[in-house]
Structure 1
Amino acid sequence: MKLSGLLAAFLLFRTYRTCFGMSHPKPACRYPPSQWCRSLEIALECKVHKQCMELNAIRPNQTVPPVSITLYYESMCPDCRLFITQQLFPTWMMLQDIMAVTLVPYGNAQEFPSANSPFSCQHGEPECRGNMIEACIIHLTGPSAAFHIIYCMESSADVLSAAQPCLQLYAPSVSWSTVDSCVEGDLGYQLMHKNAVMTRALNPAHTFVPWVTVNGEYTEENEDKVMSSLFQLVCQLYKGVKPPACTGAAVRLNRSFC
């Protein structure tokens, strides 16, 4: 199951309240609040089963398709990092029950299948490695945990150095050796080739990054809305009953590209 930032805050309040006349704090579990309602087993371990059931009862209608956001980006592009950390991830944390995010790390890279180094990246070899690490993490951990890990990496001072501790924090069951084997082996190349194919298939072709499609399509009108207030756009496009978070005021941010 998914859990928005608001729901996580609610669970923290319900679980750890210590004021006079309220329950004593319960033992901490080994999962961050964002994953407490991800499965029945986690909810039971973290002693929030009842709260998760209550929250699940007020979730949006699952028969209404979520708003699909696909980000084509580079791991070391400053403007991509800014968009992920200030727009995409915060919006997803608030609205993940009504939106689906797909991350495609490749961007302005080029593929040379017959060369010793099959990929060339805009920000050099470290970015190629960062792209591949993130592609492997997405493949090995699943979309929800992967997004937390990638946000952790992209918001760090050093993207590459942050990869292993971020993985250990948000996906402790996945060993770093598994990710490293993916990056150094055929699987990493296959995943990056898949991202290259997806990026080359864009219509219209991308001319900068971050490049975002909404429900599978790119338009200049949506691009302006995505970069200035993604949160507001997702709330507007969702065709089901709007979640409470959508009643908040929109905040416009400056747009920039690589």
Structure 2
Amino acid sequence: MSHKLVLLACLAVTVCSAAKVPIAIYYESLCPDSAKFITEQLYPAMQTELRESVELTFVPFGKSQFVTQGAETMFTCHHGPNECYGNRVHNCAIEHIQANSYQIEYTRESLTLNFINCLMKAGKNFPDNVYPGQRCATENHINNWENIKMCANSTDGSNLLKKAGETTQRLKEPLTSVPTILFNEQFDKDVNQRVQVNFLGTLCKYVSAPQPRICSEHNGASGLVGAGSALLGSLLGLWFLRYLY
């Protein structure tokens, strides 16, 4: 391969990498709003071709607090001790889930998202008080649940949770609501509110051209709705004028 071709290949890789939209999700494992966003907005959108345009970062900590006493770190979580355990499981899963060479249809990213989505779907309703970690691991082709569980029950899990807390505390705009979603490492209050009811449409505004077809379809559908509303408004206006005169 010539030097020119090598340079072009490197440039192509750089452009492709730069095209991905960095999205960071600051959330809590037992937060109903976090569960609603992940299961109803994020996960469905990531089952489309848009997944190729996104680089997701999960930060499971939220409004939790921690204090360090000697070698030990003590946590207080927004929804109680069960959430502290859940946050540790999420952090350990993010750290330890790996794709297998014999399961080429799954990537590390897709396995992690599938596992988190399953845990968030379970919410606070655990049958027989059994945390759904093993069930979600089995259902989503994750073969190292025992390692994740061991991490969550050890200082490794505490260290990862503390690291997530430190990441949360470094936000330029202090976290005031959960979930908080950052695009391109920037917090925007209006975007954060909009993305929780229309993640796909909001994401399409950040994706570089050429946009995936689903963005055109989504924008087209929105345009049709807007046009329909305008037409209805005009008809009602004409009817009202006719009624007056």
Q: What TM-score do you get using the length of structure 1 for normalisation?
A: 0.69
State the distance in 1 between where 2:81 and 2:121 align.
20
In the other structure, the counterpart of 1:77 is 31
Q: Per-residue deviation at 1:62? A: 2.7
State the distance in 1 between where 2:68 and 2:112 align.
27
Q: Per-residue deviation at 1:228? A: 2.8
In the other structure, the counterpart of 2:231 is none
In the other structure, the counterpart of 1:152 is 118
Calculate percent identity across the aligned residue pairs.
27
In the other structure, the counterpart of 2:204 is 235
In the other structure, the counterpart of 1:34 is none
Alignment of 1:119-134 (within 5 A): 119-134=75-90
CA gap 1:105/1:242 in 2 versus in 1, 3 angstroms: same
Structural RMSD (CA)? 2.1
In the other structure, the counterpart of 1:99 is 54
* Structure 2: gaps spanning 5 or more residues: 1-14, 98-107, 223-245
State the distance in 1 between where 2:109 and 2:68 align.
28
- The 10-residue stretch of structure 1 (84-93 or 125-134) with the greater mean CA deviation from structure 2: 84-93
Matched residue SS, 1:93: coil
Q: Per-residue deviation at 1:63? A: 4.5
- The structure with higher relative contact order (CA 8 Å, sep 6+) is 2
State the distance in 2 between where 1:81 and 1:191 align.
21
Alignment of 1:166-245 (within 5 A): 166-174=136-144, 176-245=145-214
State the distance in 2 between where 1:238 and 1:217 align.
15
Matched residue SS, 2:26: strand
2:64 paired residue among 102, 109, 119: 109
State the distance in 2 between where 1:172 and 1:224 align.
33
Contact 1:70 1:101 (C-alpha < 8 Å) held by counterparts = yes
In the other structure, the counterpart of 1:20 is none
Matched residue SS, 1:108: coil
State the distance in 2 between where 1:91 and 1:69 align.
13
Matched residue SS, 1:113: strand
Contact 2:89 2:148 (C-alpha < 8 Å) held by counterparts = yes
Q: Per-residue deviation at 1:89? A: 1.2
State the distance in 2 between where 1:131 and 1:71 align.
13
Contact 1:64 1:240 (C-alpha < 8 Å) held by counterparts = no
Per-residue CA deviation, residues 186-207 of structure 1 (Å, 9 max, x unaligned), is 2111111110010000111111
CA gap 1:190/1:117 in 2 versus in 1, 3 angstroms: closer
Q: Per-residue deviation at 1:231? A: 0.5
Q: What TM-score do you get using the length of structure 2 for normalisation?
A: 0.72
Per-residue CA deviation, residues 135-181 of structure 1 (Å, 9 max, x unaligned), is 1011111432111001011112536622111112223331x321121
Matched residue SS, 1:131: helix
> Aligned residues, how many?
191
Structure with greater proportional helix content: 2
Matched residue SS, 2:58: strand
Larger radius of gyration: 2
* Structure 1: gaps spanning 5 or more residues: 1-60, 253-258
CA gap 1:130/1:239 in 2 versus in 1, 3 angstroms: same
Per-residue CA deviation, residues 59-111 of structure 1 (Å, 9 max, x unaligned), is xx735421111110100011111111111111222210111111110000001
In the other structure, the counterpart of 1:4 is none
